[in-house]
Amino acid sequence: MLSQLSRRDCLKWGSTGIGLYLIGSNSPQWLAAQQVPPDHQLIVRTETPLNAEPSLDKLLEHWITPTAAFFIRNHGTAPKIDAKGYKLTIDGLVEKPLTLGLSELTEQFGLHSVTATLTCSGNRRTEFNRVKKVPGVQWDAGAIGNAEWRGSRLSDVLKKAGIKPGAKHVWFEGLDEITEKGETFPFGGSIPLEKALADTPAAPGCLLATMMNGKPLTTEHGYPLRTIVPGFIGARSVKWLSKITVSDQPSPNHYLAHAYKVITEDTPAAVDAAPPIYEYPLNSIICSPAPNAMVSGERLTVRGVALSSGRTGTRIKTVEVSADGGSTWQSTRITSPIRDFCWLHWSVEVPLTPQTQSLLVRAVTTDDESQPQETPWNMKGYQYNGWHKVDLKVS
C-alpha cells in the first residue's frame, strides 16, 4: 500500500518537475517525454512512449550489440529509479518471503554472466501489413539485439525463498505505470516455474540483471534491475523490476493475460482461449544489402542474422539464401559464435544476373523446423517469421 501511494505521489511530482525521493521505497521519478538517450543510433518509431530500433545494417556490426544500437521497447514512460532506496520483493507461494536491496542481491547471490538475444514479439510487424494493416509500433526487423547481461540467477533467489508445493508460475512486476482505457497499472507478466528454475551451462537460465554489456543498465533498458529470460519474447524480460510472486496461476497482468497473444479476432472469448506467447520463433533476416539497393557485377555478398526458436535445445542447422525467387537455395557461412539463445551472423556470395529481382532467406533448426514462407496474419502482428525478402535494383 505504502509503495503504491508513493508511486502515485511521485508520478504527480515528476510531472510538475519536482524531484523527490522517499526513503525506503522504490519511489521512481519519471522521465519527460524526450527520453531518447543522446548517443543512440536508433530510428525512433514512437517518441511517447519511446520505441526505437536500429537500421538493419547496424545489426551486423557487432555480435554483441552495443547498448546505443540496442532497440528500446517501452509501453509507458521509463521510470528513473533511485538505486539507494530500491528494494525487490519475492512473495507468494514461498516458505520465506524476501526483501532485497541491490547490494544484498549481489552479495548473497553473486553476479553471473549470460549472453542472450532479446527480440520483441512485434519485430517484423510491418510485414503483416502486406495482408492487412496491423496496429501497434510499426517495427521493421530491428527490434532484436544480443547483449551480455550480468546479474543474479533467478533460480538461486527462488531456491533461497523456498518454493512451496503447488507453485507453477513466477510473476514479474515493473515500476512503470501504463494507462490504458482509463486504468493505470504496471507492466508485468509471468513465466512457467520450470523455465524460471532451468539453468545449465549449455542453456543458461534466467537472470535478475543489473548490468548490460559491462555497465549498469541504462534507464531505458531497466535500471536498476530487470529480468532476462533467454529464449522468451522480450515482453517476459521485465524492466524496472520491483516484485516477483510465485503462484499456482499465470500472472493476471494485462501483458500476460490479454496482450501478447496470437489472435485473429479481438473478442474476449478469443483472447481467453489463446495461450500467452512465451518462446520467440525461429527467424532470419537479410541485413545487407538494404532494400532497393542498386547493385551491379556478377556476384553479390549477402549478410544477415538468424535466431533459432527459443525452445531449449534447438540451434540453427542451416541458413539459406535464394537469388532467384526461391527456385534454388545456397547455404550460408556462419561468421559469429554459435550459442544457445543467441543470434548468429551469416554471410554468402550469390551470383547476380540481370534477372535477379530480390533476395530471400530462410533458416532450419537442428530439430528440422523451417521458417514458413509467410506467417499467417494475426490481429496484433506478433511472431512474424516468414522468409525475409529484400528487393534489388540490378544495373
Ligand X SMILES: Nc1nc2c(c(=O)[nH]1)N[C@H]1C(S)=C(S)[C@@H](COP(=O)(O)O)O[C@H]1N2
Q: How far is the CB of 255 from ligand X (least distance, A)?
A: 7
Q: Choose the one of ligand X, Mo ion, none that binds residue 128, judging by a C-beta under 5 to 8 angstroms depending on kind.
A: none
Q: How far is the CB of 366 from ligand X (least distance, A)?
A: 26
Q: How far is the CB of 218 from ligand X (least distance, A)?
A: 9
Interface residue with ligand X among 6, 25, 67, 237 (CB under 6 A) is 237
Q: How far is the CB of 289 from ligand X (least distance, A)?
A: 26
Interface residue with ligand X among 124, 125, 195, 239 (CB under 6 A) is 239
- Closest Cα to residue 204, out of 339, 335, 83, 314? 339
For residue 313, is it left (φ>0), alpha (ψ between -120 and 50) or beta?
Answer: left
- The CA distances from residue 112 to 13, 104, 339, 340, in Å, are 37, 15, 16, 16
Interface residue with ligand X among 169, 221, 254, 362 (CB under 6 A) is 221
In DSSP terms, which residues pair with 150 in a beta bridge?
A: 113, 211
From the list 233-241, 292-300, 304-312, 387-395, the region that binds ligand X by CB under 6 A is 233-241
User: Binding to ligand X (CB under 6 A): which residues in 153-212?
Assistant: 174, 176, 187
Q: Does 289 bind ligand X (CB under 6 A)?
A: no
Q: Choose the one of ligand X, Mo ion, none that binds residue 191, judging by a C-beta under 5 to 8 angstroms depending on kind.
A: none
Between CA 293 and CA 352 the distance in angstroms is 13
**Half-sphere exposure in the Cβ direction for 248 (13 Å, CA):** 3
Q: Does 73 bind Mo ion (CB under 5 A)?
A: yes
List phi, psi (to 5°) of 193: -55, -40
From the list 13-21, 229-237, 245-253, 351-359, the region that binds ligand X by CB under 6 A is 229-237
- In terms of C-beta density within 10 A (0-12 exposed, 13-18 middle, 19 or more buried), how is residue 269 classed? exposed
Which residue blocks in the chain are alpha helix, DSSP H?
A: 2-15, 56-59, 102-109, 154-161, 193-197, 254-257, 268-273
Q: Which long-range contacts (CB under 8 A, 24 or more apart) does 215-220 make?
A: 215/67, 218/37, 218/67, 219/31, 219/35, 219/78, 219/80, 220/35, 220/37, 220/50, 220/72, 220/74, 220/78
Could you give the string, one character per residue 110-129, with x where binding to ligand X holds by CB under 6 A and - elsewhere? --------x-x---------
The residue count for binding ligand X (CB under 6 A) is 18
Q: Does 234 bind ligand X (CB under 6 A)?
A: yes
Q: Does 239 bind Mo ion (CB under 5 A)?
A: no
The reply to whether omega before 97 is within 30° of 0 (cis) is: no
- In terms of C-beta density within 10 A (0-12 exposed, 13-18 middle, 19 or more buried), how is residue 297 classed? exposed
Q: Does 240 bind ligand X (CB under 6 A)?
A: yes
| 356 neighbors 323 (Cβ within 8 angstroms) | yes
Residue nearest to ligand X (CB): 234
Interface residue with ligand X among 116, 144, 193, 235 (CB under 6 A) is 235
From the list 79-87, 113-121, 214-222, 304-312, the region that binds Mo ion by CB under 5 A is 113-121
Of 289 and 381, CB closest to ligand X? 381
Of 27 and 126, CB closest to Mo ion? 126
User: Binding to ligand X (CB under 6 A): which residues in 57-96?
Assistant: 70-75
Which distant-in-sequence residues (6+ apart) come within 8 Å of 362 by Cβ? 284, 319, 320, 329, 370, 371, 373, 387
Of 243 and 380, CB closest to Mo ion? 380
Interface residue with Mo ion among 81, 217, 235, 307 (CB under 5 A) is 235
Q: Does 204 bind Mo ion (CB under 5 A)?
A: no
Cross-sheet strand order for the sheet of 51-53? 43-46, 51-53, 72-73
Q: Does 278 bind ligand X (CB under 6 A)?
A: no
Between CA 329 and CA 284 the distance in angstroms is 14
Q: Does 30 bind ligand X (CB under 6 A)?
A: no
In the complex, which residues of this chain contact ligand X (CB under 6 A)? 70-75, 118, 120, 174, 176, 187, 221, 234-235, 237-240
User: Can you give the binding site for Mo ion, defined by CB under 5 A?
Assistant: 73, 120, 234-235
